[in-house]
Copies of this chain bind each other. A is one copy, B any other.
Amino acid sequence: MPLCDDIKNIALFATLTDQQCKSLAASCHASSCPKGTLLFSEGSEAAGIYIMLSGRVKIFRAAPDGREAVLHVFGPGEPLGEVAVFQGGKYPASAECVETGKALFLPRKALREAISKDPGLAFNMLAALSSRLRAFVAKVETLTLMETPQRLAAYLLLASEEQKNENTDVVHLDVSKSLLAGILGTARETLSRCLGRMVEQGSIRLEGRKVFILDRAFLEELAKGTENL
């Protein structure tokens, strides 16, 4: 069972025994997701959760006029759609693949059974939701009290934290600039202008999707609101 190995590599299921993994593997299935695939849409009945094995998904809410609010971008190992399994029964947002990959689907019944049998899994799930909540807290904070340049600076610094495997000051944007604009809650044009001003001001250098941080201190001041662009 190749699925079994996939499951063991998911942080959420790290505490499970081989036996439990097999049992889970029996009720779930993997499918390939070309870019553009809609995994589920807001308001639709929730059949279960998805976990990306590869590729990338954006979670968003769409307005009638076509604009959308990006809530998260999830990569491999991250579960999506759990909220609907535990409350309400319907997905609160839509999920669309933005980078071709594979997704694992796990029916809600199987997940609930696994949780009720294993308190460890319950705690992992609680921790996952909690960390999601933390992300939202940060998002609401930036949306409410920061303006676009500050949000952008904060994003770049955070991304460089996460990518500190390479100890240089290079951040590789793992999303398109359009999507990044969505993540920051602004328009493509505004993001473009902000980046332009940062380059002009000398705090960063741009090279495609690579961002070279030239003046980290300045970005930090900017994120704190001490400085202006």
A residues with CB within 8 A of B: 61, 63-65, 67-69, 71, 82-88, 92-93, 112, 115-116, 119, 122-123, 125-127, 129-134, 136-141, 143-145, 185, 224-225
- Docked pose: A36 CA to B112 CA in angstroms: 41
Contact B134–A61 (Cβ < 8 Å)? no
Q: How far is the CB of A106 from chain B (nearest CB, A)?
A: 15
Q: How far is the CB of A101 from chain B (nearest CB, A)?
A: 24
CB contacts (< 8 Å) of A87 on chain B: these are: 126-127, 130-131, 134
Among A67, A85, A123, A225: residue with most chain B CB under 10 A: A123
Contact A71/B122 with A64-B224, A145-B63 known, Cβ cut-off 8 Å: no
Chain B, Cβ-Cβ closest to A184: B144
Contact B133–A133 (Cβ < 8 Å)? yes
16 A-B pairs whose Cβ atoms sit less than 8 Å apart in the complex: A63-B145, A65-B225, A69-B143, A82-B130, A83-B130, A86-B126, A88-B130, A88-B131, A88-B134, A112-B123, A115-B123, A116-B123, A119-B122, A122-B126, A132-B133, A133-B133
A-B pairs with lowest CB-CB distance, top 9: A69-B144, A87-B130, A136-B136, A122-B122, A86-B126, A116-B119, A129-B129, A86-B130, A83-B130
Q: How far is the CB of A96 from chain B (nearest CB, A)?
A: 16
CB contacts (< 8 Å) of A225 on chain B: these are: 63-65
CB contacts (< 8 Å) of A145 on chain B: these are: 61, 63, 67-69
- Docked pose: A137 CA to B88 CA in angstroms: 14
Chain B, Cβ-Cβ closest to A116: B119
CB contacts (< 8 Å) of A131 on chain B: these are: 87-88
Known: A69-B145, A88-B130. 6 other contacts (CB 8 A): A61-B141, A64-B225, A83-B133, A83-B134, A86-B130, A125-B126
CB contacts (< 8 Å) of A137 on chain B: these are: 61, 71, 92-93, 136
CB contacts (< 8 Å) of A119 on chain B: these are: 115-116, 119, 122
